[in-house]
Every structure is written in structure tokens, then in C-alpha cells.
Structure 1
Amino acid sequence: MAERNHEHANDNENERATAAAELGTFVAELSAADVPDEALRLAERAILDTVGVTLAGADTEAATAALAAVGDSSGNATVIGREETLGLTDAVFVNATAGHALDFDDVALAAMDGHPSVPMVAPLLAVGEREGASGRDVLTAYAAGFEAQCYVSRPISPGHYEGGWHATSTIGVFGAAAAVASLLDLTAAETTHALSVAASMPAGLKRNFGSTTKPIHAGQAARSGLTAALLAAEGATADPTAIGGNRGFADLYRGDDDPDFDRFPELGERWALLTDGIDVKKYPCCYYTHAAIYAASELAREQQLQPEAIDAVDVTASQGAADALHHDDPQTGLEAKFSMPYLLASALVRRSVGLAAFEAKTIAQPAVQQVRKRVSLTVDSDLPYDSNEAHVTVRTRSGETYERRQERPPGTHEEPLSTTALHEKFNMCAAHSPEAVDTGTARDALNNVRIAGNVADVLELL
């Protein structure tokens, strides 16, 4: 997005102080007519994809724990993929946790180093269901939330993520607050307060990657952002400089470098949805592994590689990848999602990495474990910290060497998954839902949510 050039230090200080108010005004005044049609369509694809991975994640350990933890909550809000209904905030917590449980939800690394949709879609659908909102209203609110996440993250990225914060949670809370504020039609002042309340709520540590707490980060961000907007709607106030002001969010969550407030984007001039965009995951695991998985899978297919013939596998990737991938010898499905050796072995042995790759019996498969022990990850210091590029080299016992460099994972904003591939992913995810779903009907309704008069009708299908 366009960046501002400030001539005077006092202009920069004013920008800091008025960040929440500027963002609040943008969100409050945004209408569907303001959002480019292409951006609305991207939001629609994102909601379809997020609901799909939520269906698949509804019966996971993290989602089941979240559901049990809310206890006897009662209400009319839909729990996606379950027959239960819950109170509004509890349903949002459970749904967002389920949506991130498989690490199959979309990412926006160019914009915010995180997963943008999962903290927003759960509260948007739940509030939309309660309010009888139209699909177009929900898509507009999604756009507001996405732009808000990019706005808040720009001055502190990538240092924020490098410092150990999980941006899906710490930045996602602002997206959820902005999206719900838009859907509730809050005033500019109320929306500013909602965002400033949200500034007291960010949390989430990368140290917890590979555990059930990681998807719970998404649940807490969605619930906290929703709560911030509901509080503002009821008259709660917060310091309007809480995002950009001295010792506000940006100062405290910045990482090692000072916040660069010249990077605040021109809201509504260039749309982050269109320029930075959304990357849709092809594999249900850490995004830093996707280029390497694709490269390994292609090498295995092209060269007809057999597990017993593989002598060594070397992969080079960014420092960001090395920081996120903690588990060389994973013992659980969640750990396996953050294991470059296991994922490369799975790609080489099975030619793909799907949902079944994270089941205990699959992880323990002898051929995969044999290859896993031969995989080594090295940091390429020439790559930017958050690069997703990977270079895979496979050496065979007979002396051949095969290699492939993959600059980007499949499914990026620049080279998106086809509609057919996106629908196939939804179908696969829906098949894992604990409650039966009429997959075709649900998929078509979500794929055309822009024409829905009431999103509650769409949620009935889930």
C-alpha cells in the first residue's frame, strides 16, 4: 500500500496519536460500494476456505478442548460442524480455534506475518447470524478487518513476528474488532474505542507453536476482538492513542526496531486485499514448509524416487522458517506440522501432504521415519527473514543428485489456487466434519455468499 512521506517530526507524532481515530473513521464510513468488486470476491473466497478448514478442525484436540472448556454455555450461535449451539462469544472462541487447529487456514505474510481470516470469520458469521446481516454486509466487514490488520501491523513488521509474537493473535484481534464494528454499524468514535480497547488484549507466543495453544491463540483473538467491539457498542471507552501513542501497542509490541509510522498506509487508496493479498494453503501445516514440500513432491514424481534409494535430503530456507520449525522428531500431529524433516519425508514418500499425514499411525510409518532421519535444514542467510523460498537437494545411494528451487508456495496471491482446487479443498475438509454436511449445497452457498439475504441461512447448512 502507499506509504506517507512526512516532512516534519511533529507530523509523525500526530500520526502516532491519531492512528486509532483514522482507522476507526475508515472502518465506520466504509460501505460495500467503496470496496472494489475484486476485493469482495477475494473476501468471499477467504470465507469459503476458512469455513472449510473450520469444518475439518471441529473434531480436533484443540477444538474439542475449547468446546469442553466453555462448559454449560447456552445460546443460539452456531458451532460450525457440530450440533451444539453456544452463547455468542463462546461459539466464536470454539469456531476460531477449530479454524486454526489444522494450520490449514490462509495466510498474509506480505501484509502481517499471520493468518488474517480465522480471527475474523468466526465473529463475523456469529454476529451476522444474530443480526440477520446480508452476505454483502459480511464481506464488507471482512474487507474492513483485513485492511485494519494491515494498517496496525505495517509500522512494526516484521520485527513484531521476529520478536516472538504470534501475529495471528496479536494483530488478528484488531481485525476482529474492526470487522465486528463494521457489521454492527458503530460510529467512528465507537469504532475508535473498540480498536483502542482491543489494543489492551493482544497475546500469543510463537514458543507455543506445535501445541494446542497455537490454535487457541486464534480463538482468543476472535473472542477478544468481538468483545472489544461489543464493549464499545455499550459505551466502553479507551485511550484513543492506545495503538500509536507513546507506550501504546506499536511501541510495546515492536520487536527490536522502532516503529516506522511513515509506513501507515493510505486507507482506501490502495487496498491491501488487492496488493498484498491472501495466500491459500495447499497443505495443512506451517506455511514456511510449503515451498519445500512442493519442491520435494515434484522431485519425487519426476524422478520416481523410492524411499530406500534416498541417501540424504538437504533443504535451505529462511531464518523465519528455522525459528518456526521446532520439531525435528515429532511425536504428535501438531508437532509434525512444524517439522521440516517429517514434512519433507512425507512429501518424498507419499508425493503429497494431506490431512492424513498428521495421524499417529501415519507419522510412525517406517519408510517416512527412515527418510526423516536423512533430512537436514540449513538457513540461507541471503534470504529475507520471512521468505518462503526453499531449495531442496536429494542425493541417492547410487550417487545421483536432484535439486529444485521453489521461490513461492502454491496458492499465493500472485498465483492463486484455481476455483476447482479451492472447491476440492473444501470438499476434502467437509468430509472430516464430525457432523454430516451437505457439502455441495454448503459450498455453493458460501461461494455465492455475496447474494445471501441473511447469512443465518448459510450457517444452517453447517
Structure 2
Amino acid sequence: MPSSIEHASTSTIATRLAEWVVNLTFDEMPQDVVEIACRLVLDQLGLQIRGSTLPNVAPVRAVAERLAGAPDCTVTGAAWRTTAPHAAYVNGTMGHSCEFDDAHMRAAHATSTVISTAFAFGEQHGSMGRDIVTAIVAGQQVMSLLGAVAMPGMQDAGWHISKVLGVYGAAATAGRLLGLDAAQLCNAFGIAGSDAGGTMEYDRSGGEVKRLHAGSAARLGSEAALLAQAGYTGPATIFEGHRGLFAVFAHETSVARLEESWGKWQIRDTMFRLFPAVGTIHSPIAAVARLVDDHDIDWRDVRAIRVGLDELSFGHGASIVHPHDAISAQFSLAYSIALRLVRRSNRVADYFDRSSYTDPGIAAVADLVTPYLMPVPEGDPIFSSDVTITLLDGTEYQHYERGFPGHTVNPASAEQVLAKFRSNVEDVLDPQQADALIALTADLPKLEGLRPLTALLSG
């Protein structure tokens, strides 16, 4: 249990979080927390490597290369180097590029932001592996504790948690590796608050801008830490103040949920995504996959598909039927179900293949999908679903999926995360390079620096 944040205090939340981040030690973290962090690093690096090949984030890479400053840090898949904030920006964007990074109910896609920040600043400053792991856990913890208050109000208002809270996670991660004291880190949080933002309109009409939310949060939050180190200041009441995060973004005045969460390692609640799509539709994808496998359903025989969803999933993934770009495809319940029925797969390539968006069979099945609001049974998590497929002859097949594969109620195994990594890098790295990355990330806490890892990441 993170003992150094259990105490009650009359200090501001920013002060208390800063004190905890500064005082956290590697040795007080439980072994499973360290192992989860290392597994998340492997997952994230695999996604950055895959992202370095994708066209949707190529403009981010191109602009960052034109603006490249001091060649301090590695950009995954690139021969050029840049400053730590810009390396975190590009790498975080690539990590979030294919809607396949981890998810958390309070911190959304935290590690695309905090791991890219930790690697950039860890590389620049020659940090030990154990210090990088500690900074990752610290950044994720900060985002999750803030999310304990900000959710669900922030989500309901249309703000993207990853971007809004990511600036604070990046400030904590970078601040830790820069050696900021508590007063400086408190200022970094206050400075970062002026760069918090990012709406979720992409889940209604698409737009690849969503991909850079993790990266821009990494850049802006880490720059806030650098500014604080240089003596710049920000409001200490940035979180609970009258015009602070909770009031402005979440319309929330009570911090009771944050207080209740002080003593828990939040990284334990991370969900590894095993489908490259928004997490709110993973349960119905898994349910359809089960029905197709169990009953060998031919998509040509399907008359209707009814999908029961909780309110959050219904509003954050069920709006788009016929996508026009990768992000709208990955936020389309109907398209994802159609892929599973027609192609019996939900691969990254399926979401980036533009010809699939107008494929007659996929489009026809997508039109058969009808989502509806469903009360989730007591004791079951949101993101559960109930799917009924009706055939032309009247036969009905039904399956209720509690959570989804990778959810905390059905956690991804180490073998599944490893297989996902290999799948993401198989067209980019040779098997020996992949094996080396796997071994190095497993031993990250023992490494004296990141050079052996970054040597495998550069183009």
C-alpha cells in the first residue's frame, strides 16, 4: 500500500500529490506493481513500433522532425532525434495511434503518456531502470487519483481523460526524473493545468487528432516540469480550487473519492486491450466472437444483431455505423461486429484498410446491428454486454459477456501480452530484436540505463 500518501492533510491536493511523488521509493512498491509496470512498458513499446509504420500519425512525425531541436532522445522508428518533450510527444502519439494501448477506468490511456515521458527524460538524464519504473508508477497514480474525482463528470461533459489528466501525469513523471522538489512539482501541476483540454467529438464524427492526445499531454506536462524547474509558478489549488480541474472540467466539488483512493496502487486496475478498438466495445466483440466460434455462424444468414450496453458504452462507441477513417472505424460498434462476422478477425490492419469501410458485406452486416441500453447485473462491471444474433430462419444465439478479455475481471495473461507484442512488431523487427526487447523490459528495474533498449527502438 502506498503508505506515503495515506495521511490526512490540510495542504492542497497538488501539494500532497507532489510530496508523494517526490518521496516515493522503488523499494516500497510491491513486486506485482513493478511487474505490471514492466509489462505495460513492453506493451507500449510494441505499440510505438507499430505506430511508427502507420500513415495516420505520419504528419505528427513529419512536423516534429522539421521542428527537431537538440538531439537528446530517441524517436521510435526514426533515424533522427529530438528534445525530451518532443520525443515524448511523438512516441506517445505513436503509442496511442491504433487504439490498442491499455485502459483504466480513472486514468484512461495513461501509459502512452507516462511511459513515453519516462523514456524520454530517463534517456536524456541517464536514469537507472528502477528510477524509470518508479516515475511511471508515480505518473499513473497521479492520473488515477485525479480521475477518481473527475470521472464520470469529465467524460459526461465530453472531455478526453487521457489528454486532460495526462498533462499532470507527465508533469509528475518528468518531475520525478528531473529531481524536482515538492514545491517545484506543485508548481508544475499548476502550470500544466493551463494546458489541460481535449474534447471527444472524434467519437461522433472521426478525426485522427485523438491519437495525439497522449503525446501532446506528454509534451505539455513535461514542459510544465521544466518550467517549474526554471522557477516558473502555478496555482497550488489547481485541482480543488473554484476555477480548478474538478470544478471546471467535471463540475465536481467533493474530493471524497480521491480520499478513499489514497491507499491503493492504481496501476493494478489497468486493463490491457486485446482488440484494437475503443474499450467500450470490447465486450460485444468478444461476445460475437464466442457465438461465431461456437455456432459457426455465416454472416449471410444473419437477420439482426441486438447489443445490450451500459450507458457509458452506448454513448462512447455506438454512434458510428459506417466509418470513413481509422478512428471512426475503431469507435464503431457496428463495424467491429461486422468485421468479426465477415472476416472473423479484428486486426489493426482491418481498421486501417480503407476499402473495408465500403465493403458491401461488412456494410450490410453493420446495418443489422442495433444497440440498446441495458442495466448491468449487480456485481458485474460496466463494459459488460449482452448480444443476440438472429438468423434468417428465426434461430437465435445469445451470449452475455461479463467485462471483456483484458478487463480486471478477466485479466490478460502475461502470455497474451507477449503475443500481442510479437504481433505488433513482427513486420518491423526481426525475431532476435523482438526477443531482446522482451528480455530487456522484463529486466528494466535492473538496467543501469536505457541505452540497450533505445538502441533497438531507433530507425
What's 2:217 paired with? 221
What's 2:331 paired with? 338
Structure 2 distance, partners of 1:214, 1:421, is 26
Pairwise CA distance, 1:432: 4.6
Structure 2 distance, partners of 1:266, 1:372, is 43
Pairwise CA distance, 1:322: 2.5
What's 2:24 paired with? 30
Pairwise CA distance, 1:387: 2.1
Of 386-395 and 374-383, deviating more is 374-383
Instruction: State the AA in 2 paired with 1:451.
Output: K
Pairwise CA distance, 1:83: 2.4
Structure 2 distance, partners of 1:437, 1:354, is 24
The alignment covers a number of residue pairs equal to 445
Q: Which runs of 5+ in 1 are unaligned?
A: 3-11
Structure 2 distance, partners of 1:266, 1:448, is 33
Pairwise CA distance, 1:382: 5.6
Q: 1:184 to 1:267 in 2, by over 3 A?
A: farther
What's 1:208 paired with? 202
Listed one character per residue, the Cα deviations across residues 261-294 of structure 1 (whole Å, up to 9, x for unaligned) are: 12223676322223xx100000011111100000
1:291 aligns with 2:283: yes
What's 2:68 paired with? 73
Pairwise CA distance, 1:27: 0.5
Structure 2 distance, partners of 1:80, 1:93, is 11
Of 300-309 and 77-86, deviating more is 77-86
Match for 1:168 among 150, 153, 162? Answer: 162
Contact 1:317 1:383 in 2 (8 A): no
Contact 1:58 1:434 in 2 (8 A): no
Q: 1:252 to 1:432 in 2, by over 3 A?
A: farther
Structure 2 distance, partners of 1:235, 1:107, is 34
What's 1:8 paired with? none
Match for 1:444 among 439, 442, 452? Answer: 439
Instruction: Give the structure-1-normalised TM-score.
Output: 0.91
What's 1:107 paired with? 103
Structure 2 distance, partners of 1:331, 1:266, is 43
Q: Sequence identity, in percent?
A: 26
Instruction: State the AA in 1 paired with 2:350.
Output: A
Of 414-423 and 309-318, deviating more is 414-423
1:88 aligns with 2:89: no
Instruction: Give the structure-2-normalised TM-score.
Output: 0.92
1:281 aligns with 2:276: no
Pairwise CA distance, 1:217: 1.2
Pairwise CA distance, 1:153: 1.8
Q: Which runs of 5+ in 2 are unaligned?
A: 3-7
Q: Secondary structure at the match of 1:314?
A: strand
Structure 2 distance, partners of 1:249, 1:432, is 42
Contact 2:171 2:224 in 1 (8 A): yes
| Alignment of structure 1 residues 49-64 onto 2, 5 Å | 49-64=43-58
Structure 1 distance, partners of 2:448, 2:234, is 35
Structure 1 distance, partners of 2:254, 2:337, is 38
Structure 1 distance, partners of 2:95, 2:128, is 22
Pairwise CA distance, 1:241: 1.3
Q: Secondary structure at the match of 1:239?
A: coil
Structure 1 distance, partners of 2:223, 2:114, is 12
Q: Secondary structure at the match of 1:330?
A: coil
Q: Secondary structure at the match of 1:392?
A: strand
Indicate the RMSD between aligned Cα atoms, in angstroms: 2.3
Contact 2:403 2:409 in 1 (8 A): no
Structure 2 distance, partners of 1:63, 1:94, is 9
Structure 2 distance, partners of 1:436, 1:208, is 36
Pairwise CA distance, 1:427: 0.8
Contact 2:43 2:417 in 1 (8 A): yes
Pairwise CA distance, 1:333: 2.1
Match for 2:416 among 415, 421, 426? Answer: 421
| Alignment of structure 1 residues 130-145 onto 2, 5 Å | 130-145=124-139
